[in-house]
Every structure is written in structure tokens, then in C-alpha cells.
Amino acid sequence: MRRLLAGLTLFALLIPAAAWATPYDTFGTGARSIGMGMAYGAVGGDASAMHYNPATIVKASTFQLEFGYRVGDIALEMNDRQSDIDQDRGFTLGVVIGKTLLARQFRIGVNVYTPDDHFMRFYLPQRTAPVFLRYTNINHMQATITGGAFEIVPDIWSIGFGSSFVSSNTGGVDFLLSEDEGARGNLVTRLASKATPVIGTYVEPLEWLHFGLTYREKREQSLGLPNRIDLGNLKVFKDNGIIVFQEGLEILQVNSSTHFSPRQINLAMAVEPNDSFIWSLDATHYKYSEMKSNVAFSVANLTGDLGQVLPSDPPLLIPEPKTHDVWGVATGVEYKAIDNPKFQLHTRAGYNFRPTPVAEQTDVSNLLDSDTHIIGAGLGFTFADFSEVFPAPITLDIFNQFHYMEERTMRKHDPTNDFGDVKIGGYANSIGATFILRFN
């Protein structure tokens, strides 16, 4: 009996979790774009454009490499206590290659983000556990965007396409427990990826006026892990042959929607009156109304004699997340403060407003979010005096990004709720840099 109980405990501990996430929507990618408030859908020109608008990578060099790193603290509070959310830190790698054919630009690009702490970390909240919509565990997943772009009309109209890949993990356990012999079985885990499309177009009707349009498909993962345990005959004593319970089978199905990134449509405009100044404006529609609950729940089915003694409980009702569609707005500027043949200095600033899609959490659910203001600032240093080593200038972009979440209180209708009223607020602050090598 003790062996069976120990085996069942081990089985419960080995239930694997699965999740997938991308940090692009929350923190952005690329030091230049972050410094401009992530208002980048009609700017582009580097590998980070694979996220904002893949059509704009036609403005990049025919071969360039980008290396980036960022680190920051997430100091969000819940009921005046700091939440346990790890640092936002990781590496970015970008590559753009291309060619000019028939007087038209063709480019292929890839942008990869890899956390330096957890390559993948899976998080399945309890039914009533408070979870920050845009920050909890979002900074602990590897993500990749790759694709290409080409000009339809030279110097006027281009289109781009790509796929956003995020990591996933699936699997389950299959165990045999017996009083007569030791437990044996397998724990199976599978690393995989899931791709969703990103499509963009970029138009320059005038030399100083640029427009961009980008569509990003929603990214979601539904978890369904079948866990199987075979229970042998249960005897009063090991060697007396008296069977108390006939052998049975337990199937434990773990279900959850482990990540959701909404379907997005981005409208962008940039004004570039001269070679020294750019002003950009982006508006993004987030379709959060399609979001499913990310709470994990399980369904157990026990057969045999044990199934009659220990009947399966019905699954708990999963609260709806109560989210709705929102529009976010971002704007940014870039000014070339120093311009000479050997050195250029660009200054950047931007603002991004993200209204919350989360309605009041009045019942058991605790999906936490509030209107968030994001301020970006950055500098770009371009060195052109390396012609003996590199045929094109070398660029170092640095940024500082500050998120301020407005204070908000979620008041519960049920006074017996596990957590009661929840007050949230706080900030996140990060710094980073991107180093760009051009070879054309």
C-alpha cells in the first residue's frame, strides 16, 4: 500500500506543464525602435522590423548583423507588496541579407530573442491566483520572427511576410505501479515550435511621407496533457494473495490555455521632412476579446475497484478572463544631432499608451492589468571611419524604457474570495543596446 501511495505522489509531482510566450508585444525589440516608443511600423531598416512591419526591411543593408542585450527590473505591486516577477533580460540576434534584382530590393531577415536566465519556463496558475496579463512569465520564453520582403514598385511600395515562432513543450507520464515489483514507466517531453503569420506593406507616396500596415495573427496554445497510470492488484499483504482491489487505470488530463497574444492590426505613418528628422505615429488594434482563460484544470478518471471507492470529481468551472478589444497608440521622434563624414549622433524619444483590455475582476478570477504608459529614450552612435575593416558604418544604439502602470483596485463581490480586493500598480524599467555591423 505504501508503495502505491508513494507512486501516486510521484505521479502528481511529475505532471509536466507547458506554456509559450513572446516578449515582443510587451517590451519590443531593437534599441532604435524601443527608443522611439516602438512607433516603428513605417520606419524600419533593421532586423527588428520583422516584428513591427516586415515590409520595411527592404530599407536595410544587403547584409547586416545585429547583436543586442537588455536588462531591467519589473517592480509591479499587488496590495502594496512587490510581486515576484523576475528581471527582464536577454539577448537579441538579428540578420538581414538581400540583393537587388530587376532594380528592386529583396531582403530576408530573422530576429531572435533568448532570455539569459530561462530558455523556456512554464507557468500554470491556480484557479484564483493573481496573474499580471502582460508581465507574468512573459520574459522567460525564447521567440523568433523570420521572413522576407520585396519591392513591388521601386522606392515606393514593398510588401513583407514572416512567421513568428514561439517555443512549446508537450508530453505526459505513463507509469505502472504494482505491489509485487517496483514502479516503472516513462516521462515524455517534446520540444517544438508553433508559427503564426506576420504580414506587412510599406508605401512611400512622397519622399518625405511613409505609411505602413501590419497584420499579426493571434498566438495561442491550448495544453492537453494525457497522463496515464496503471494500478496493479492491491493486496492486504504482499504474499497472501488476497486481493482487495482489482487492477485499474487512472487517466489524468491536464488542460489549459497557456499563452495568448492577441490578433493585431497596426496602422503606421512616418514623416521625414529631411535627412535629420523623423516623426512616427502608430495605432494598433488588439483583439483581446478572443482570449481564453489561462487557468489550468485537470480531469481525473479512475477505473477498476478503486474507481468505485474514489469516484472522479467533476472539473472546476474556469472563470472567463473578461477581456475586450482595445486600441493602443505610440509616437516617436529621431533627430540627427551630429552629422559629419566620420561620426553621426542620433537622439530618440517616444511614448506608447496601452489601455488595459481587462474588465473589473469581481468574482474568483484575478487577471491583473491597468492602463500603462511607456516612455522610451535612446541614442545612436554611428562610426564611419572603419573602411579598412568594414565597408559600411558601424552603429551602436542604446535605450532606456520605462513602464508606468496606473494604480487600480479590483473589488470583489464575494467577501469570502481567497484574495479579496486586489490593488495593483508599479513600474518596469530597462536599459539595453544593439550593435549593428553592415557589410555593403
**pLDDT 10s digit of each residue in the chain, 440 long?**
444 334 433 333 333 333 334 688 899 999 999 999 999 999 999 999 999 999 999 999 999 999 999 999 999 999 999 888 888 889 999 999 999 999 999 999 999 998 887 666 555 566 667 888 888 766 667 788 999 999 999 999 999 999 987 655 555 555 554 555 555 555 555 556 678 999 999 999 999 999 999 999 998 766 655 666 555 555 555 565 555 545 555 555 555 566 788 999 999 999 999 999 999 999 999 999 988 766 555 555 555 555 555 555 555 556 677 899 999 999 999 999 999 988 999 999 999 999 999 998 887 778 899 999 999 999 999 998 776 666 778 999 999 999 999 999 988 887 666 778 889 999 999 999 999 998 87
Q: Which residue has the cell 512622397?
A: 206
Q: Do the Cβ atoms of 230 and 177 come closer than 8 Å? A: yes
**d(Cα 147, Cα 195) in Å, to the nearest integer?**
12
Tell me the pLDDT tens digit for each residue of 325-367: 999 999 999 999 999 988 999 999 999 999 999 998 887 778 8
Task: Give start and end residues of each alpha helix (H) in 310-422.
Answer: none
Tell me the pLDDT tens digit for each residue of 174-209: 555 455 555 555 555 555 667 899 999 999 999 999
CB count, 10 Å around CB of 326? 18
DSSP letter for 102, please.
T
**d(Cα 52, Cα 134) in Å, to the nearest integer?**
18
CB count, 10 Å around CB of 195? 15
Buried (b) or exposed (e) across 137-173, using 16+ Cβ within 10 A?
bbbbbbbbbbbbbbbeeeeebbbbbbbbbbbbbebbb
CB count, 10 Å around CB of 201? 20
**Closest by CA position to 161, among listed 54, 267, 42, 40:** 54
**d(Cα 41, Cα 25) in Å, to the nearest integer?**
13
Predicted local distance difference test score (pLDDT) of residue 107: 97
Q: Radius of gyration over alpha carbons of the chain, in Å? A: 26
- Angle 375-381-383 (CA atoms, 0-180°, nearest 5)? 165
Predicted local distance difference test score (pLDDT) of residue 19: 36
**d(Cα 90, Cα 70) in Å, to the nearest integer?**
6
**d(Cα 89, Cα 139) in Å, to the nearest integer?**
7
Domain boundaries 2-341+350-377+399-438, corresponding CATH code: 2.40.160
Region of 294 on the Ramachandran plot (φ > 0 left; ψ -120 to 50 alpha; else beta): alpha
Question: Which pTM does this prediction carry?
Answer: 0.83
Q: Do the Cβ atoms of 294 and 230 come closer than 8 Å? A: no
